[in-house]
Amino acid sequence: MIEALLERYFNVVSFLDSSYVGFFRGSPEVVSKKMQDELAHQDIYAAVDRVGDAYRVTLLHIPREKKKIWLHILLVLLTILTTLYAGALHAGYNPVKQPFTLIYGLPFSLSLMLILGLHEMGHYLASRNRGIKATLPYFLPVPHPLIGTMGAFIKVKSPITHKDALMEIGAMGPIVGFLVALPVSAYGIYLSKIVPSVGVGMNLKLGTPLVFKLLTQIIHGNIPTGYDIMLHPVAFAGWLGMFVTSLNLLPVGQLDGGHVSFALFGDAHRVISRVTFALLLFLGLFWPGWWFWNIMLVFIGLYHPPILNHVAPLSKKGKILGIISILIFLFTFVPIPFRL
C-alpha cells in the first residue's frame, strides 16, 4: 500500500541502503511536499534529498503514542485555579482569606486562558493538518500572584517534513494568539482608567508594546502629562498574551520564531540565533529576566534541528506567514517588560 502511494508521486529506479532512488513525477519542489503530507497522515515520514541528478526517498515509521488526556485536563484545571487566584488579587481581593472571592478573578483567568489555549491549538491544528504528530497543550500553573501561569506548550512527536509544514506549525500559534489577544486587549483598555501618575500606588510598571500604544491612542486618545493608565485585569491578561507571543517569536532554536527563522532563512538562522542571544544578554542589564530566559534557551537549544525535505523551498504562502509573524513580533516585543 505504501509503495503504491509512493509510486503515484515517485518513479523508483533503484533501491539503495533502505532508500528509494528515482525521479519525481512532476516538479520535485511541489510533488515532494504533496507526497510527504499524504504519507505523514499514515504515520510514514519521508526524508527527501538529492543523489546526483536523481532523488532519494527514505521512509521512516513513527509509532502512535497513547495520549494522556487526564494529564492535560488536570493541568488545565490547576491553571484555571492559579489564574483565578492571580485575577482576584488584581481585582483587589484576597482569596486566601475569602475563598469565595476567587470568582472576581474570572475576567483575568478566562481572558488569559483563552489567549494561551488558542495559541497552542493553532500549533496543534496546523500539525494535524500536515500529518505531524503533536500532543495536546500542556498548561503550566504557578501560584504566582502576578501571572498565575508560565504559559502552555505542545510537544511535536514526529519529524517535520518540509519548510511549509514547519512554517505553518511555527507561525499559526502566534498568529491565532495575537488575533485573540487583540480584541481582549482592546476591551481591557476600554475598561481601564486614566489616573494621576502620583498616588497610583503601583510599584511595578509595565513596558508598553507598540500594539498597546496604538490601542490606547485609539480608545483613550492622548493621555495628559502627569496621568497614566491603570490597566483593568482583562487588559493585563491581554498584555501578558502579547508578551508571551513576543517571547515565543524570538528567532532562536525551537521557539516559534526559531521555526519561522529556519523556514525563511535556512542555515542562516544559526547566525540570527546567536545575534538574538547576544542582544538578550545586553537587554538583561535593564531587565534581568532576559538572563533567565537565555539560560532556558541554552537548555532548549539555540539551533534548529534539520527537517526531512532538503529539496523543496518555502512557498509564497509560507513566506507571507513568515512576514506576518515578524510583524507581530515587532508589534508585541518590549525590551524592558517590567521595571520598578
Tens of pLDDT, residue by residue over 105-144, are 999 999 999 999 999 999 999 999 999 999 999 999 998 8
Angle (CA) 333-339-340 rounded to 5° is 165
Locate the DSSP E strands across 90-173. 138-141, 149-153
Q: What is the pLDDT of residue 26?
A: 92
- Point out the residues of the chain with pLDDT beneath 50: 200-202
Beta carbons within 8 Å of 285's beta carbon, 6+ residues apart:
none
Strand-pairing partners, residue 11, are 23
Measured CA to CA, the distance from residue 220 to residue 230 in angstroms comes to 12
pLDDT tens digits, 257-273: 999 999 999 989 999 99
Q: What is the pLDDT of residue 40?
A: 92
Q: What is the pLDDT of residue 198?
A: 65
Q: What is the pLDDT of residue 195?
A: 86
Q: Which three cell numbers stand for residue 118?
A: 488558542
Strand-pairing partners, residue 61, are 44
Grid cell 481585582 in the structure block, residue: 91
Q: How many CB atoms lie within 10 A of CB 63?
A: 8
Q: What is the pLDDT of residue 340?
A: 67
Q: What is the pLDDT of residue 75?
A: 96
Measured CA to CA, the distance from residue 236 to residue 302 in angstroms comes to 30
Judge contact between 240 and 147, C-beta under 8 A: yes
Q: Torsion-angle region of residue 227: left (phi > 0), alpha (psi -120 to 50) or beta?
A: beta
pLDDT tens digits, 240-260: 999 999 999 999 998 999 999
Q: What is the pLDDT of residue 200?
A: 47
Measured CA to CA, the distance from residue 156 to residue 136 in angstroms comes to 10
Q: Classify residue 338 by burial, with Cβ atoms within 10 Å: 0-12, 13-18, 19+.
A: middle
Judge contact between 312 and 266, C-beta under 8 A: no
**What amino acid is encoded at 274 in this protein?**
R
pTM, whole model, 2 decimals? 0.92
How do the domains of the chain map onto residue ranges?
2-61, 70-339
